Amino acid sequence: MEKIKEMYAVIFKEQWPFWAGGIFLAILAILMWTCGKPWAVIGGYRNWADWLLTGIGVYDGKRLVSPLLDTKSIMALGLVFGSFTAALISGEFGFRMPPWFELLKGGVAGTLMGFSSVLAGG
């Protein structure tokens, strides 16, 4: 039982080195690319938004793909729920209000990242 607690602490409590996370994500992205489904999450968020706006009558989605059948939409869900689950497991989940300048920096950075990911095709 002590070994399990040790492994849990190593995986979920201690900070991983940046290079390990980068290598893991690179391998995952390469595997997805070779399977013919490159890692593209932004299109999934757009598909969910199109589906929602069509449902409330704001958007006319004639060629709309169901978000539950679109791989990008499933990846977007996996990113959100995976992050949530990781925060819960590590004990870091909580609602905190950052200082206003941090909110401003996050808003500007998020806008620039969203804009650049659309320009880059996901």
> Three-state SS across 67-105?
CCCCHHHHHHHHHHHHHHHHHHHHCCCCCCCCCHHHHHH
Specify the pLDDT at position 66.
Answer: 83
Specify the pLDDT at position 106.
Answer: 93
Specify the pLDDT at position 121.
Answer: 61
Q: For residue 80, give Cα distances in angstroms to 17, 34, 61, 64.
A: 22, 24, 24, 22
Specify the pLDDT at position 27.
Answer: 92
Specify the pLDDT at position 122.
Answer: 52
The one-digit pLDDT tens for each residue of the chain (122 residues) are 888 888 887 777 777 788 988 898 889 888 888 887 777 777 788 888 888 888 888 887 777 888 888 888 888 888 889 889 888 887 878 888 889 999 999 999 989 988 887 777 65
- Per the confidence metrics, is the pTM higher than 0.85? no
